[in-house]
Structure 1
């Protein structure tokens, strides 16, 4: 067996998982059986299984063995997704439900609101002075009962304090933030997003039920109305094994 033995074992098991020989929910052979099959020690087998865990392909369940993980549905995230939030809202939806292909009844949004003073990063993104009063919102998005996205979208107190937008009891709101701000006479007309990849924080991994070794997309979104920043979502976090980012790039001169 050339190279590192554990890499060879991991590659064979990975191939069986990806081609369906070991389907989602299947239990892998016991470590002792794999060790006999490949003529290696159980330590080498554990190294191979750890490599599969880090790739998000298998999971261990206490002393119940190692199992092939269920493959999460892949969400295609379009660069034009926010068009779903433009009015009028003839059908209850948001860009999230549209991307997920779920009905409103299959959508759940857990929320936590608090008033904060903007730190230097948040103030810089808003283009305001540090210490400016901001409504910080923490959202966990569920699609058909599965936690699929977390976000920290923030709004300026000067725009929303004392309005229905600042009341978490009104969530989820069809049309999302764009429609919320429209009810206040604020028309979002431009959005920028910066996308990076990183490993999840422990809280993100627990909340989103992310397997060990699976990275996330971390998106910083800024919404504008007539050139003024009216919302900053920093970050939006989406598991990397559940999403494909689709971008449309029109090839025409900018005004």
Structure 2
């Protein structure tokens, strides 16, 4: 296994680049067009594409979680220690904040901002639960059946979830925290942040529970009955 400092560096770097892509593409889109749907499409494509790249390149180092909810799931699966999961989450949040600062720097905006974009209400929170549920389910199933396809599966899922969820699928507490520090296209008010984070964690835990059952390796008692045995 790769040593912890390098894994933590990969998690911070990946989350930082992810957030820079999310916020930066949103700023660019908003600058170039007044059409909200077109701006969201540009933001979507950039996010899905960067996820494929980051998971493919940094996954072999740290697992490419870039997401405290994902790290929690792997800790509960005992594939990551509680200490390492906590450290992963800490550097993911730090990396995300740095990514927001980098995005603002590239577009000559104030480095840290408090977002004023309202994202609240039951539909938004439920959407975040659904988005994170789907993300975790895709990751767990992908690892078991199509490990090499996981980068593409995650990128495509988030691309789709931008459009089928009312919240545009944050699905990541670290990214949500970073997005509360940008008053741009992809922002979220700090006041609305707790509801998103709680919904994301809940969605991840529900996915873990369901997929643990659904993906269980069959034991002798689970084997299908052979018709010849009935003769």
Answer whether TM exceeds 0.5 for this pair. no
Q: Which has the higher strand share?
A: 1
If asked which structure has higher relative contact order (CA below 8 Å, sep 6+), I would say 2
Q: TM-score range by the shorter chain?
A: under 0.3
Instruction: Normalising by structure 2, report the TM-score.
Output: 0.27
- Larger gyration radius, structure 1 or structure 2: 1
Which TM-score applies when normalising by structure 1? 0.25
